[in-house]
Structure formats: structure tokens, C-alpha cells
Structure 1
Amino acid sequence: MKTATGCTVISNGTAVIGTGAAPIKDATIVIRDGKIAYAGPVAQAPEVEPDATVIDARGGTILPGLIEAHFHPTYFNVEALEDLDIKYPVEYVTLLAASNAKLALECGYTSARSGGSLFNIDVWLKKALECDLVPGPRLAASGREICGVGGLMDWNPDYRKIGMDGLVLLVNGPDEARAAVRKLVKDGVEWVKTYPTGDAASPDVNDHHTLCMTFEEMHAVVATAHNHGLKVTGHCRATEGIKNALRAGYDTLEHGTFVDDEALEMILERNTPVVPALYFELASIERGPEFGLSQRVIDGHQETLEGGAESARRILRAGGRLGMGGDYGFGWNPHGQYARELSFFVNYVGLTPLEVLTCATKTGAEILGREHELGTLEAGKLADVLIVDGDVIGNISLLEDRKRFIAVMQGGIIKAGELFRSQA
């Protein structure tokens, strides 16, 4: 992506640096050639050239661009899982993915990690984003996902013959698991997404206490992926699936729902980040009935919600790391509502706004492996900045309202928000 040239100064706001440090009142951010040159109190700010561009934060909040750590760009607000594979052709899903990427940027998310993609679209979407062909977050791609045959994601009957063409690579045993990763290596992914466990969405044979991959399959995935420099994550709800993923050497866990003492100790020992993605559960409970979710499925989501919230609290309080991101792209949890995850973690889980923002910026950058250039407002890092009209620490739900965004910047260039619209 291109970066800005020249000097820009953001002033008259409170800066949330992203490191977890206390907010800086009356702060100034100096951006030179797309990178942060200074972020701190206005009294200590360096002198800048007279022709520098000045942005007035209007007494609001200046923070790093948000990072969506579990992004499904090719999910198109479906009402049934099967729709993902059979409703639209690849050409149309590609256009929908580009639209979702643009929407994410407009919502203040300047970076994202794909949590799985139809048809390898996210790999090519990433290329388009990096060439500035379409607007959207800086993206880490994961391509198609891996699940054991008969597992949670094996919803299509064999007569459709699309198992290798849509969303999921289905495997039986470690040899097929290795072969699936090798396909993804050729595709050009950065992350390998797997399904070690089931979910409340499939209560009959693959519920949230069920395993969908063997340890041997998971170990084969990790060994092959790490050999090629790729990272591995997995949909982990069941306790034993969480432990299997940690023993196999997973780089992150998605959900980490039912964490017991042994699993917590393993998470802390390995310093493995967890992305709980929990607002989806609340949305499923509250809006599921209008979309035809059965009471049995909703009851499963209630159990997942409560278990996941407790696990997330325990992980963070014990010194572990949480990333923020959710399964947006379902009818009851549509794209564009990403910041509801952040409000949820304050209002339901009980984290502080500062803790949540640190998870959504600094930890997100660590998950992406780009903490040296993203995630905090520190000198030398790319100027991915979100400026919000209002006190985000006092009311984190302001991040749900795009009308409050003065500017969304990537590399010092204004890409969305009020100032972007006024330039159009």
C-alpha cells in the first residue's frame, strides 16, 4: 500500500497509544512520510514545518487503527452454512469480499487476519489491497480451511462433489492433512485454519464438546505448515481440542471456549494468543429465533457464551493474550458490526476499555506478526490511525458509530471517515 508523503500533525485529542499505558490528554501525533515520528503530550512535541497538514481531533480520541483478528471476507451474511458453498459462483463471492473489505476499513479496521476463505479469494484480495486496487484492511490470508471428514465443516453431501472447491479441505488421517497443507502452500496463504472441534451450530454429531480432528492430523498440519513458514490456528471449543492444539504447536487458538486449569497453564507457558470471537454467541442467542435457529442450537450458544466469557477473563487476568475478532458474515451477525465485539468485552465479559483496545490493536499486530510496524502509536511505525469524535475510553460503543469517525488513516493517508468524504 502507498504511504503519505510530507508531514501531518494530529492535535487536540486524547491519545490511546495501544500499549496499555494510560491515555495521554492533549496529545499530538506527528506523521512524516507515512510513519509516526512522535506521539505524546503536545508540550513535548517537536517543531514541524509551516506547511504541515493539521488535523483537529476536536477533543476526541486518537488511537491505532483497529485490527480484526478473525475476519471472514467471503462470508456474505448467510443464514445457513451450506449457502457458503452453493449459493453464488466464485466471481460474485469475490465482489462481495471486496465490498466487505471496504466496509471493514470504513469501520476503523486498518488490518485484519482472515479466519478462512472460500475459493482462495482472500489470497488474491490481499494482493489487490496491497496494490491499492481496492480499499480495505492490510490482510493476512488463510485460504481454504481444513477439517476432518464428517466433522463440523463437512456439511455438503458427497453427491455435490465440491469438497475441494468451496470452503474446506477434508482430510482423513495425517497423510491427507499434510497433503491439504501443501495445497495451501501452493495457494500462497500465510495462515492455515483448521477445525479441531465442533460447535453449537451442529448439535447432533459435532457439538461444542466434540473433536473433529485427531491429534495426529493436527500435528501433521503444524509440522508441514511450520516447515514452509506458515502459521496455524484452529476453531477450538472443546477442552481436549484446545489441549491438542497447544500440544501440536498451534500459533493461535480461535475461541478457546472451555479452558480448564491445565489448558490455561499450557496457554500461558506457550504464550499462545487466543481470539475468543464471542459476540457471535450473544447475537445467535438474541437474534437466532428470527433466523430459524432451533432452541437446542441456541441453548448450545448460551453454554458457549458463558464458558467462553469465563475462559477469556481467566486468560487475560492470568497474563495471557487475547485478540479481538468475530465470526461476522452471518445474517444475525452481519459485516459492518465488528466493533460490537469490543463493546461486548467491556459490557458482558468485564474487561476495561483500555484492556480491550490493547487487545484490538497491539495484540492484533502481534498475531499478524507485524508488531514492529503496526498496533501502537509509536515512533517508527506505520501511521495507521483512527480519530474518533468523542471519548472512546469513557464510551467504547462510540466505535460502533462510523459517523463519529473523523478519519481512518493507513500509512498516513486518509482512507475513510468524515475528512475522506469531504475530500471526495
Structure 2
Amino acid sequence: MKGTVYKDGVVLPCEDLRIIEDGAVIVEGDTIVWVGKTRDIPEKYLSNDYARESVAGYSIMPGLIDAHMHISFGECESEEELSIYTSPEYRAIRAAADAEKVLFSGVTSSCDPGGPNNLGVAVRDARNAGLIQAPRMAAAGRQLTSQQGIGDNFPLWIGVPPSSMGVMVRSNAEIIQEIRDQVKAGVDIIKLAGSGLSSDEYAAFRREEIALAVDEAHRLTRPITIHARSRQSVRYAAEAGVDWIMHASYMDDHGLDLVLEKQIPICPAMTLLVNIIEANDLGISDISAGARRHAEEERDAAIKILTKFHRSGGTLICGSETGFSMTPYGEWHTREMGLFVKHLGLSPMEAILCMTKNSSMTLPRDKDKIGTITPGKYADLLVVDGEPHNDIDVLHDSSKIKTIIQGGKQMDRWRPANHKRIRLGFEKAHLYTRTPLKRTHFN
């Protein structure tokens, strides 16, 4: 067979808001060769050289792109689990298994903006070598941090462990050297920890330090992104010309104007914030009242400024921040689209564009080959039972995703969907007791 004709479905090309009723997509090898109305299929594709598959009653859309997914985090339940426990060797094997869960949630491409031991790069390469089933991936190394950045979350007397997601840079020379080291190690992107837990106001780096990192990354042909929740970090990032900004929860109007002027996309990753709050509602987390209040305040601030960003014509991209215990692999990848619809005022189709066309930029090697159903691009497709362009909740139900096609190939699981992974003792935080043992416990 020369290829396959998928016909009679509702096609969402995701080049814009256009919908093709009774549409068709034709695939040869790993590539889309034709898109249009079923009735307009060229004669050459109607021969017996092409398999024909009717998808009447279904929608055909591009595979989803999760722009913020940490494949090496292992669904960590604490900072210690993320940064200290578990060997690099075990983390790599675990990440390979977790990557398949991501793929079968409908995510055919993803960006991993930083993690320990260069594991994102390893998973990317294993996928490209055909060793594992996973989304196409772009990967950063450890995120460059100062003492005020999200990459340094331990007390001063401990510092940044070499097994953590961050790497401490203490001077301009160290910023440059770390970027050069990461480029040599094969990263696709550079990430800065531009803000941290200590303030919603100030940045983790000075303006000129961020500008230096941007200049060096771009000189070495690598995009650079930044974790920037605070007001100052967003402004500095926009002034320096980063390629996209993560979060921007406390962006002010001045920062908003700069981001819009520079046409810099924002990846809010609100899913993590909302899931932190809801996990606490369910009684499965032990965050303090103050941490809960801060998460609610950040959520509300993000909704307010990002709604304004969207209404002003800003570009939003979708990332789930999968990898934490609040955002396990295969579970919450599509929720960001729903939050965009519910809180930021996007239509379902506009939200889908955020997780297809808009998010393609976060995979620099593949950005011109993914994200839309366009002749010449990779045949990364989803066949969906329902109309996600009218009801975004359809995509939250993985049972509605009937077929996942990556590079023209219909994907089948290598592991059963209900396969249970056991968390081993060395992966977990080591608690002696949950409360001090007192004599009154025995009364």
C-alpha cells in the first residue's frame, strides 16, 4: 500500500479556526499528503494502492503537544523525592515507561523544560532510536538558577544537589559556561529559573544576567525559555527577548505591554496550581494554610492578567507541568485547554490551537513538521469520538481518543493500560512518624 485515506470525518486542520465537515486526510509513509473534503479526493488516491478507512462520526485533529512536561520527575511527592532520592539509572528506566503513558493520552509531541541528569535528552534519543514509545520530544538540561530561583529550593547550608533539577550559576562566566556545557550535551532548549519561592515581586537574576543568557543561547542556536511567575522576572524576560515565558502569573500591565510588543508566547501551566488546590480539597495533600492561600492568590492573579493577555491578542501555549504527584503521567495533559475555556474566555477551538499549532514552537527541531494537519507535515493525528471543537471536555476522556497516529503509524500499547507500577522504598520521602509518639497515644 502507498498510503491510507481517512475519510468522512470532521477534520480540524488547526491552521486556524476552520473546520472541514465530511473531510479527509491522506497519509503516505510518515507524512500528510492531502487534506480536504471527501468528495474532492483526487482520483489517484482512490486506487487500490491506498487503504481506505471511514471515520464517519469522528473528528480528526493533530496530535496534541504538551509544552511543559517533566519526564524525569517520576510523579514525585516531595522536593526531596524530586531532587535527591532515586538513582539516575532507575530514573531513566522509569521515565521510559512513563513516556508511553503520555503518548497514549493523545500527546504525540512534548517539551521537557528541564530535569536532573540530562534524562530528557536520553528519553528523546531513545524514542528517536525506536527503543521506546513516547511523544516526539524537545528537552532542556538542568535549569540555570540563582539562590532566589526555583532551582534552589533547599536551605543555604545544603545548596543545590547535583541530582536536582537546577544548577547554580554564580557569575556571568558560569552562566555562559553552563549554557555551553548543556549545548554540548545535546539539549534542544535552555531554561532559566527566573523566579522562585521567595517573592512574587523580584526576579532571581538581574536584567543584564538574563540578557546575557539569552544572547549566549541564541548565539548557539538554542531557544531559551524562563520560569517567571514574579512581576520583575516577566519584565526582564521580555526585555531580554526570551523565546517564551512560563507562568507569568504576577505579570503587571507594563510587563504585559512588553510581552505583547515582543510577541512572546506564554505557557501558563495553570493545571499545576489548580491541581494543588484540588488535591488539598480532597485531603490527599498536607500543604499549610499559608501555601494553600498563596496558590489560590496566584491562580486568581494569573486568571486576571492572562485573560487580559488573551483579549489583547497574545499567544497562549498549553503545558500541563506533568511529572508531579498532583499531575501524574497520562492524566492531566488536556486540562490546560479546559482551564483556558473556563477561566480565560477562549472558545474550545481556540484552546485546541493552543495545544497544537501554538505549542509546536517548543520543539525547535520539529516545529515546522507538527501542530497542524497540513500536507508535508508529519502524520501525527488523533481520531476522536466526539466534537472537541464544540466541547473541550471530550479530550479529557482518554476513552474518546479512538486512534493515535504518530508518523503515519497507528500506535498500539506495549504495556497494558492497567499495568500497575509499584513505588519502591528508595523513591519515597523517609518519614520516621507523621507525628511525635507520646504517652497520650496509648491512653
TM-score normalized by structure 1? 0.91
Q: Is residue 144–residue 166 contact of structure 2 (8 Å, CA) maintained in 1?
A: yes
Q: What is aligned with 2:437? A: none
Q: What is aligned with 2:221? A: 229
SS of the equivalent of 2:60 reads strand
SS of the equivalent of 1:164 reads coil
Deviation string 1:252-272 (CA, Å, 9 cap, x unpaired) is 100121222222221122111
Q: Which moved more, 1:172-181 or 1:108-117?
A: 172-181
Q: Is residue 30–residue 408 contact of structure 2 (8 Å, CA) maintained in 1?
A: yes
Q: Is 1:95 equivalent to 2:93 in the alignment?
A: yes
Match of 1:367 among 357, 362, 376: 362
Q: Is residue 175–residue 220 contact of structure 1 (8 Å, CA) maintained in 2?
A: no
Count residues in correspondence. 409
Deviation string 1:267-311 (CA, Å, 9 cap, x unpaired) is 122111111111111111111352111111111111111121222
Please show how residues 34-53 of structure 1 align to structure 2 within 5 Å. Answer: 34-47=30-43, 48=45, 49-53=47-51
Q: What is aligned with 2:186? A: 188
SS of the equivalent of 1:409 reads strand
Match of 2:81 among 83, 86, 92: 83
Deviation string 1:157-185 (CA, Å, 9 cap, x unpaired) is 56667633432111223222222212212
SS of the equivalent of 1:297 reads helix
Q: Is residue 160–residue 166 contact of structure 2 (8 Å, CA) maintained in 1?
A: no
Q: Is residue 383–residue 403 contact of structure 2 (8 Å, CA) maintained in 1?
A: yes
Q: Is residue 109–residue 136 contact of structure 2 (8 Å, CA) maintained in 1?
A: yes
Q: Is 1:272 equivalent to 2:264 in the alignment?
A: yes
Deviation string 1:194-245 (CA, Å, 9 cap, x unpaired) is 11112xxx4xxx1433422222321221122111111111111111110101
Q: Is residue 178–residue 224 contact of structure 1 (8 Å, CA) maintained in 2?
A: yes
**Structure 2: gaps (5+ residues):** 418-443
Q: What is aligned with 2:244? A: 252
Q: Is 1:131 equivalent to 2:129 in the alignment?
A: yes
Q: Is residue 365–residue 371 contact of structure 1 (8 Å, CA) maintained in 2?
A: yes
Q: Match of 2:361, as an amino acid?
A: E
SS of the equivalent of 2:68 reads strand
CA 1:20–1:310 in 2, change beyond 3 Å: closer, same or farther? farther
SS of the equivalent of 1:70 reads coil
Give the deviation of 1:65 after TM superposition.
0.6
Q: Is residue 164–residue 170 contact of structure 1 (8 Å, CA) maintained in 2?
A: no
SS of the equivalent of 2:200 reads coil
Q: Is residue 407–residue 416 contact of structure 1 (8 Å, CA) maintained in 2?
A: no
Q: Is residue 63–residue 109 contact of structure 2 (8 Å, CA) maintained in 1?
A: yes
Q: Is residue 320–residue 335 contact of structure 2 (8 Å, CA) maintained in 1?
A: no
CA 1:332–1:367 in 2, change beyond 3 Å: closer, same or farther? closer
Give the deviation of 1:149 after TM superposition.
2.3
Q: Is residue 270–residue 299 contact of structure 2 (8 Å, CA) maintained in 1?
A: yes
Q: Is 1:406 equivalent to 2:402 in the alignment?
A: yes
Give the deviation of 1:416 after TM superposition.
4.2
Query: C-alpha distance in 2, partners of 1:216/1:274?
Result: 21
Give the deviation of 1:113 after TM superposition.
0.9
Report % sequence identity: 29
SS of the equivalent of 2:411 reads strand
Q: Match of 1:319, as an amino acid?
A: G
SS of the equivalent of 1:229 reads coil
Query: C-alpha distance in 2, partners of 1:242/1:387?
Result: 38
SS of the equivalent of 1:291 reads coil
Match of 1:333 among 318, 327, 351: 327
Give the deviation of 1:191 after TM superposition.
0.8
SS of the equivalent of 2:351 reads helix
Query: C-alpha distance in 1, partners of 2:23/2:162?
Result: 52
Give the deviation of 1:122 after TM superposition.
0.8
SS of the equivalent of 2:315 reads coil
Q: What is aligned with 2:438? A: none
Q: Is residue 174–residue 216 contact of structure 1 (8 Å, CA) maintained in 2?
A: no
SS of the equivalent of 1:211 reads coil
CA 1:183–1:62 in 2, change beyond 3 Å: closer, same or farther? same
Q: Is residue 151–residue 212 contact of structure 1 (8 Å, CA) maintained in 2?
A: yes
Deviation string 1:103-134 (CA, Å, 9 cap, x unpaired) is 11101111111121211011111111111110
Q: Is 1:30 equivalent to 2:26 in the alignment?
A: yes
Please show how residues 167-246 of structure 1 align to structure 2 within 5 Å. Answer: 167-198=165-196, 202=197, 206-246=198-238
Q: Is residue 152–residue 159 contact of structure 2 (8 Å, CA) maintained in 1?
A: no
Give the root-mean-square deviation of aligned CA atoms.
Answer: 2.0
Give the deviation of 1:335 after TM superposition.
1.8
- Hey, which bits of structure 1, 4+ residues long, moved more than 4 A? 157-162
Q: What is aligned with 2:309? A: 315
Q: Is 1:379 equivalent to 2:375 in the alignment?
A: yes
Query: C-alpha distance in 2, partners of 1:251/1:269?
Result: 13
Structure with bigger gyration radius? 2
Query: C-alpha distance in 2, partners of 1:279/1:71?
Result: 11
Query: C-alpha distance in 2, partners of 1:278/1:232?
Result: 21
Give the deviation of 1:70 after TM superposition.
0.7
Q: Is residue 12–residue 20 contact of structure 2 (8 Å, CA) maintained in 1?
A: yes
Q: Match of 2:127, as an amino acid?
A: L
CA 1:330–1:207 in 2, change beyond 3 Å: closer, same or farther? farther
Q: Which moved more, 1:344-353 or 1:50-59?
A: 50-59
Q: Which moved more, 1:168-177 or 1:373-382?
A: 168-177
Q: Match of 1:249, as an amino acid?
A: G
Query: C-alpha distance in 2, partners of 1:328/1:165?
Result: 19
Match of 1:143 among 130, 141, 144: 141
SS of the equivalent of 1:182 reads helix
